[in-house]
Amino acid sequence: MNALRAALLRGARATPRPGGAARGSRPGDGFAFSQLRAYVEGDDPRRIDHAATARVGTVQTRVYLEETRLVLAAVVDESGSMGVGRKRPLARAADEAVRAWFGALEGADLAVRVVDDRLVRDRRAAPLVRAANPFCFSTALAIALRAVPRGASLLAVADGFDLPDDELLARAGLRFDATVLLARDPWRDELPLRGFVRLRDAESGRVRQIFAGSRTRARYGAASRARETALHARFRSAGWRVGTLDERDGRASLLRAFGLPA
C-alpha cells in the first residue's frame, strides 16, 4: 500500500460522524463482517455476539475484515488568481497535487472530481479535466455534500479568495475526511516591486497604479502572513486537515499536509 493511501485510510477511519462518534470506533463502522468464532482472551468484548452465544452455549465473537476501499474526491480552484506565481503558476502545482491525490488510488477505490456542476468519476480523467465555467468554491462544496459518500476523503485546492461560509465548511469537515491545500501568496515573503507600478487584478483584469515603497512592501508582507494564518485557523476550526500549496512542488505540498516525507 502506498504511503499516501495508508494515511488516507487512517484519516477516513477517524472521520467524525453526527453525535460525536468516529468512523471505525465500533464494529461494523469501516469493517465488513466475516464470521463468528469462539471467544479468545484478548478479543474486544464489544464484538461478543450475545444471540449466538445463547444459541451455542459458549461465548461467540464476531470477526471483521477491515474494509479498504476508499473514495477520493477533489475540488480544485481554477480561477485566474491560480495562474500567478514567481517562477511558475500556482495552477501547475495544483495539477501536481491532484495527480498525486488520485495516484493514491488502488484496487476498487473510487475517484470523484467535482468540476463545474458535474461529477467526473473516471479514474483516468479525474486528474485531467478542466472547468468550463468560473470557479465557485461554495457551489462545488455543496455538490460534494450532496453527491459524495459520507466518509470519503475530500481534497480541496484553493487560494482562499472565494470561500464557503463557516457552516458549509463545518458540514464538509463533519461528513468527510477533508483536506485543503491553501495556495501560498507567491509574494508573501517579498514583494518585488519598487516605485510607481501598475497592478492588474488576476480575476477581474482591472489595472491600478500604486507607489510601492518600503512601507508598502512591509505592510503587504504582514497582511499576507496574517491572512494565511487566519485561513488556516478557519479551516482547522471546521475540522479540516490544512496544508500549504507551494508553487514549486504540488506533490510535495500534498505529502507534507499528511506529515509524509516529500
Q: How far is residue 172's CA from residue 165's CA, in Å, rounded to a whole number?
A: 11
Regarding whether 189 and 138 lie in a shared domain, the answer is yes
Q: Cα 129 from chain centroid?
A: 18
Pair 161, 136: CB distance under 8 Å = no
Domain boundary residue, one of 38, 66, 94: 66
Predicted model pTM: 0.78
Map grid coordinates 471546521 to a residue.
238
Structural domain containing residue 242: 71-257
Regarding whether 55 and 169 lie in a shared domain, the answer is no
Regarding whether 92 and 56 lie in a shared domain, the answer is no
Regarding whether 188 and 89 lie in a shared domain, the answer is yes
Mean pLDDT by 10 residues, the chain (262 residues): 84 51 37 74 84 91 69 94 91 97 93 95 95 94 94 94 92 95 89 79 77 85 93 96 96 96 85
Predicted pLDDT of residue 147: 94
Q: How far is residue 119's CA from residue 129's CA, in Å, rounded to a whole number?
A: 11
Regarding whether 159 and 103 lie in a shared domain, the answer is yes
| Beta carbons within 8 Å of 181's beta carbon, 6+ residues apart | 94, 97, 155, 156, 157, 158, 243, 244, 245, 250, 253, 254, 257
Pair 196, 208: CB distance under 8 Å = no
Predicted pLDDT of residue 181: 98
